[in-house]
A and B are shown apart, each in its own frame.
Chain A
Amino acid sequence: MTTVEAAPYTVEEVCERFDPVMGLEVHVELNTATKMFCGCRNEFGAEPNTNICPVCLGLPGALPRVNARAVESAVTIGLALNCSVRERSGFARKNYFYPDMPKNFQISQYEDPIVFDGYLDVPLDDGSTWRVEIERAHMEEDTGKSLHMGGATGRIHGADYSLLDYNRAGVPLIEIVTRPIVGAGTRAPEVARAYVSALRDVVKGLGVSDVRMDQGSMRCDANVSLMPKGSSTFGTRTETKNVNSLRSVERAVRYEMGRQAGVLLSGGTVRQETRHFDEQSGTTSPGRAKETLADYRYFPEPDLVPIEPSAEWVEGLRKELPERPWERRARIQSDWGLSDEELRDLVNADALDLVAATVDAGASSESARSWWVSYLAQQANTQGVALTELAITPEQVARVIALVSEGTLTNKLARQVVDGVLAGEGSPDDVVAGRGLAVVSDDSALTAAVDEALAAQPAVAEKIRAGKTKAAGAIVGAVMKATRGQADAARVNELVLERVGASS
């Protein structure tokens, strides 16, 4: 298990002989308040087995009931992906045995998914667009989580014992399935990553999921196959699971392309199987052969009646669809006058929404941007948290900016105010009051400080008087030091010149 298998061919080499075909299945956990089929809370990170009831534990006799909000979220996602909404959509049981699945069947959808036949125009790195066709998106329930203790791999085989947490059992999932993505050639890995990224942005914009790949609220399975160049018959595909970041999506597809080409070019055949992606090595390895032989024995779920969304309701949801993330970005770019690079920096820093919210709270885009990408980004970095997790709101940042522009704070003081907010000392105004940080704007106090400094440095005072106004800097520095930075340096400079009588 220790040998790391390098993909024997690069994407470019693969595409000299083959055309890659991809299918991407993305699971999105909805952020509804309650689970798919019961009233238990849907939350990440609760104490194990605290959000459970007879229904999501699959106790004998318990029956599911459909969460209307989850249906609404599913339809909304479908509409955002340009899908048709089915007039009558039923649930089905997918039967297989696994300890983290309480009923040993999963309530899912099979022949009549809630939404179908859509597409997503995906922006690529070079500014072009790739249309990914969506075959369907359907509703289902998540499984519980197994934690295999002991053993080397963290997998069930070799474990000493397993712990089961059913908090996640019954959490609403939407599975979004693409049609085969053909013709991307060497760009296939990029298209895969860009699609998942665009999908994440769309769903995030809808507000129906946290779409955190690191927390598993968005998960991707990548199907990859190769067909000889010029052929239109798909090759045997593998399904790679456990692809938990955008980067991994790209790497997994690239690795599978290279690996499969190696198999085919050495005269072998690709096995249809489930493979697991390993983040460390960037390789995939086969799962249990059993997983590929499953017959899920789907049949209509007899405990639920089909869903029949009315046309008026669907149209109402369509009207409320938010702006597409990249359309919004284009608008913001022109409103704020940003270069492509400035925009990309904002997006990459995950700061776009924060800056936009700060602007909405009254700040100028320039100062909002400057705060979030420089000082606040440094603080996040120091604390080791995401920018979005900093303990300051866009409204508070906007307030700090306002205090600066009205002259109450200098930039230096403003940073101390932000530090205070981050340290939990309250709102910006609380920190200003609590730390006594307002700019000293009382001229008589400042004048006294200036006179004192001039008296302490008579030689400098003389130079200024002689017209070397730049020498005033030393006095200003001394005054700033004496006022512990709470003076407006420009005003101090004016006063220095005034007091030595050098002002023009």
Chain B
Amino acid sequence: MSSADNGPGAEDLTRLDAAELARRVQAREVSSVEVTRAHLERIEAVERTGLNAFLHVAADAALAAAAAVDDEIAAGTVRGPLAGVPVAIKDNMITRDMPTTCASRILDGWRPPYDATVVRRLREAGLVPLGKTNLDEFAMGGSNENSAYGAVRNPWDPARVPGGSSGGSAAATAVGETPLALGSDTGGSIRQPGAFTGTVGVKPTYGTVSRYGLVAFSSSLDQIGPFGRTVLDAAMLHEVVGGHDPCDQTSIDAPLPPVVEAALAGARGDLAGVRVGVVNELSGEGFQTGVLSAFTDAVRVLTELGAEVVEVSCPSFTLGLPAYYLIAPSEASSNLARFDAMRYGLRVGDDGSRSTDEVMSATREAGFGAEVKRRIMIGTHALSAGSYDALYGKAQKVRTLVVRDFSAAFERCDVLVSPTVPTTAFPIGDRVDDPVSMYLADLCTIPANLAGIAGLSVPCGLAAEDGMPVGLQVMTPALADDRAYRVGAAYELARDTASGVPFASTVPDPAALQGAS
């Protein structure tokens, strides 16, 4: 039973975007409890179909939080623009009242004693956490197939992956289990599943959203960011969680770019004077035909909105992929060393007959999945005395080149665009035995992580050959995230105006499909 059956004529609250829900809750047209209950029912209905987007649903805590917000609003206090709106949290962000598993067996049974900064900010702003979403184990993967708790399905086609690693957050947002979700993006882990599921996903400038309480995969690349079904929703969530945090020394002590203002400005549909660069190296050979044609259409729309489109070349970007697959595993090999069975989580083989080292080994053998082990091995090797210079050291040099290419390109352009992913979502199981083809899905998104700049993915239609969503990536210089929101919002409006229907409303409903079968 879906929340559409609330009663005759009852509107489906799970179809509304976050901005509209916030307006209605704060105007007391609907209560946060009603909104939250509708989403909890939606989660129940959709998860029953096997979507597997959630690892933990905190129904009672969510309803209690919603009731508290309702009381405050009744008393005349509104904590923030998104007060009363539900949100889902990727399960690699620490929550003191919910388990945090990182979709790994190694954290079995661990209950964290604290909240991540972003989680604290969600609560302080009156958002209502619904639960924790599925991901590739420790955010390592691009398909969500690396979860110890099973793959997530793509709502557009349950036989396909939703992308990853933030696949649970993306799928949940796409299908209306939640209007908003937080993801983390190390090499494309927000933008790529955003593209695969037809949602808006943003990787903010590195250092503008606190990483305190984000279980680290690759510390110099990880960045938390928002998912929404509209550009404005993503911007509103971005403003809640963003901004300087003294607990994260890589956090930039500067005002957050005015992303909500920019999304609203973009929605006026004018991109006159905006210089848009199309990155040569991020399209063409090897890209799926339907992806390229959707991208070309999107660029044409930008031109029609008044943008000046030019082609730019960033030759180092092709080196970005191998560099990323050295830097990220190197940092991961160190970050994941703490999972050793000594203090928390899984402990295997501690029967009194084994040494500490043996218990550590047995636990890590049993607790980590294949992809995590692969990356720990690669990273440990890349940092070893004999290979450091040739591997990790060289990868860092590539990183410098990528930064330079971006700098040069941003002298000529205000934003850069590309397809978010070279293909649409692929069938579950298709690439599990071929890590390199899996890694290629990150080709277009990795450069932004290496350079620490911002990138946004906004849906730009469906690929003709498979009917799966395609993403348009908009990249901006560091601390100019607002430009991506402006361009994204302008494009989004033009897209929906042209089709006559909001793109988000075209997502198939797994619950209805199952009901029909």
Q: Out of A61, A63, A97, A295, which one reaches B337, CB within 8 Å? A: A97
B216 touching A105 by the CB < 8 A rule?
no
Q: Out of A65, A99, A295, A298, which one reaches B342, CB within 8 Å? A: A99
Whether B13 is near chain A, meaning CB under 8 Å from some CB there, is no
Instruction: Return chain B residues, CB-CB under 8 Å to A299.
Output: 330-331, 334, 383, 388, 392
Whether B250 is near chain A, meaning CB under 8 Å from some CB there, is yes
Whether A473 is near chain B, meaning CB under 8 Å from some CB there, is no
User: What is the chain B residue whose CB lies nearest that of A54?
Assistant: B114
Q: Which 6 A-B pairs have the closest CB atoms?
A: A104-B337, A302-B219, A297-B383, A302-B220, A61-B213, A60-B215
Whether A103 is near chain B, meaning CB under 8 Å from some CB there, is yes
Shortest beta-carbon distance from B91 to chain A in Å? 11
User: What is the chain B residue whose CB lies nearest that of A290?
Assistant: B357
Instruction: Return chain A residues, CB-CB under 8 Å to B218.
Output: 302
- Assess A63 versus B247: contact at CB under 8 Å? Given A95-B383, A99-B340: yes
Shortest beta-carbon distance from B86 to chain A in Å? 23
Q: List 14 A-B contacts (CB under 8 A).
A: A58-B338, A59-B94, A60-B110, A60-B339, A61-B100, A61-B212, A63-B249, A65-B249, A99-B342, A99-B356, A105-B334, A299-B392, A303-B219, A305-B250
Report the bound CA distance from A102 to B356 in whole Å: 14
Q: How many B residues are at the interface, by size bracket?
A: 35 or more
Report the bound CA distance from A299 to B344 in whole Å: 26
Which of chain B's residues 385-402 have a Cβ closer than 8 Å to chain A?
385, 388, 392
- Assess A105 versus B337: contact at CB under 8 Å? Given A60-B107, A297-B384: yes
Which of chain A's residues 25-64 have a Cβ closer than 8 Å to chain B?
54, 57-64
- Assess A103 versus B338: contact at CB under 8 Å? Given A60-B215, A61-B116, A61-B212: yes
B356 touching A162 by the CB < 8 A rule?
yes
B249 touching A304 by the CB < 8 A rule?
yes
Report the bound CA distance from A302 to B357 in whole Å: 27
A interface footprint on B319-334 (CB within 8 Å = 1, 0 otherwise): 0000000000011011
Which of chain A's residues 172-194 have a Cβ closer than 8 Å to chain B?
none
Instruction: Return chain B residues, CB-CB under 8 Å to A156.
Output: 356
B102 touching A60 by the CB < 8 A rule?
yes
Instruction: Return chain B residues, CB-CB under 8 Å to A404.
Output: none
Whether A259 is near chain B, meaning CB under 8 Å from some CB there, is no
Which of chain A's residues 282-305 have a Cβ closer than 8 Å to chain B?
295, 297-299, 302-305
A-B interface contact total, Cβ < 8 Å: 98
Instruction: Return chain A residues, CB-CB under 8 Å to B107.
Output: 60
Instruction: Return chain B residues, CB-CB under 8 Å to A162.
Output: 356
Whether B214 is near chain A, meaning CB under 8 Å from some CB there, is yes
Instruction: Return chain A residues, CB-CB under 8 Å to B214.
Output: 61
- Other A-B pairs beyond A297-B385, A297-B388, 10, CB < 8 Å: A58-B338, A58-B343, A59-B113, A59-B344, A60-B216, A63-B212, A95-B333, A97-B357, A299-B392, A303-B250
User: What is the chain B residue whose CB lies nearest that of A94?
Assistant: B334
B383 touching A60 by the CB < 8 A rule?
no
Instruction: Return chain A residues, CB-CB under 8 Å to B9.
Output: none
Report the bound CA distance from A164 to B342 in whole Å: 10
B340 touching A97 by the CB < 8 A rule?
yes
Which of chain B's residues 169-221 have a Cβ closer than 8 Å to chain A?
211-216, 218-220
Most buried by A among B110, B212, B248: B212
Shortest beta-carbon distance from A349 to chain B in Å? 45
Instruction: Return chain B residues, CB-CB under 8 Å to A57.
Output: 343
Whether B112 is near chain A, meaning CB under 8 Å from some CB there, is yes
Shortest beta-carbon distance from A194 to chain B in Å? 35
A60 touching B334 by the CB < 8 A rule?
no
Report the bound CA distance from A34 to B247 in whole Å: 15
Whether A275 is near chain B, meaning CB under 8 Å from some CB there, is no
Report the bound CA distance from A54 to B110 in whole Å: 13
Report the bound CA distance from A62 to B333 in whole Å: 17
B interface footprint on A79-106 (CB within 8 Å = 1, 0 otherwise): 0000000000000010101010011110
A62 touching B249 by the CB < 8 A rule?
no
Instruction: Return chain B residues, CB-CB under 8 Å to A95.
Output: 333-334, 337, 383
Q: Out of B212, B334, B392, which one reaches A93, CB within 8 Å? A: B334
Whether A66 is near chain B, meaning CB under 8 Å from some CB there, is yes
Q: Out of B215, B219, B343, which one reaches A102, CB within 8 Å? A: B343
Report the bound CA distance from A162 to B355 in whole Å: 11
Q: Out of B211, B360, B388, which one reaches A63, CB within 8 Å? A: B211
Instruction: Return chain A residues, CB-CB under 8 Å to B334.
Output: 93, 95, 105, 297, 299
Instruction: Return chain B residues, CB-CB under 8 Å to A97.
Output: 337, 340, 357, 360
Whether B380 is near chain A, meaning CB under 8 Å from some CB there, is yes
Whether B87 is near chain A, meaning CB under 8 Å from some CB there, is no
Shortest beta-carbon distance from B461 to chain A in Å? 37
Instruction: Return chain A residues, CB-CB under 8 Å to B255.
Output: none
User: What is the chain A residue whose CB lies nearest that of B330?
Assistant: A299
Report the bound CA distance from A62 to B337 in whole Å: 14
Report the bound CA distance from A103 to B214 in whole Å: 15
Shortest beta-carbon distance from B177 to chain A in Å? 24
Whether B93 is near chain A, meaning CB under 8 Å from some CB there, is yes
Shortest beta-carbon distance from B504 to chain A in Å? 31
Report the bound CA distance from A298 to B331 in whole Å: 11
Report the bound CA distance from A164 to B343 in whole Å: 10
Whether B273 is near chain A, meaning CB under 8 Å from some CB there, is no
Report the bound CA distance from A63 to B210 in whole Å: 10
A102 touching B330 by the CB < 8 A rule?
no
- Assess A66 versus B249: contact at CB under 8 Å? Given A299-B330, A299-B383: yes
Report the bound CA distance from A295 to B218 in whole Å: 21
Report the bound CA distance from A389 to B93 in whole Å: 49
B211 touching A102 by the CB < 8 A rule?
no
Whether B7 is near chain A, meaning CB under 8 Å from some CB there, is no
Report the bound CA distance from A102 to B339 in whole Å: 9
Which of chain A's residues 10-32 have a Cβ closer than 8 Å to chain B?
none
Instruction: Return chain A residues, CB-CB under 8 Å to B220.
Output: 302
Shortest beta-carbon distance from A272 to chain B in Å? 15
Shortest beta-carbon distance from B334 to chain A in Å? 5
A297 touching B380 by the CB < 8 A rule?
yes
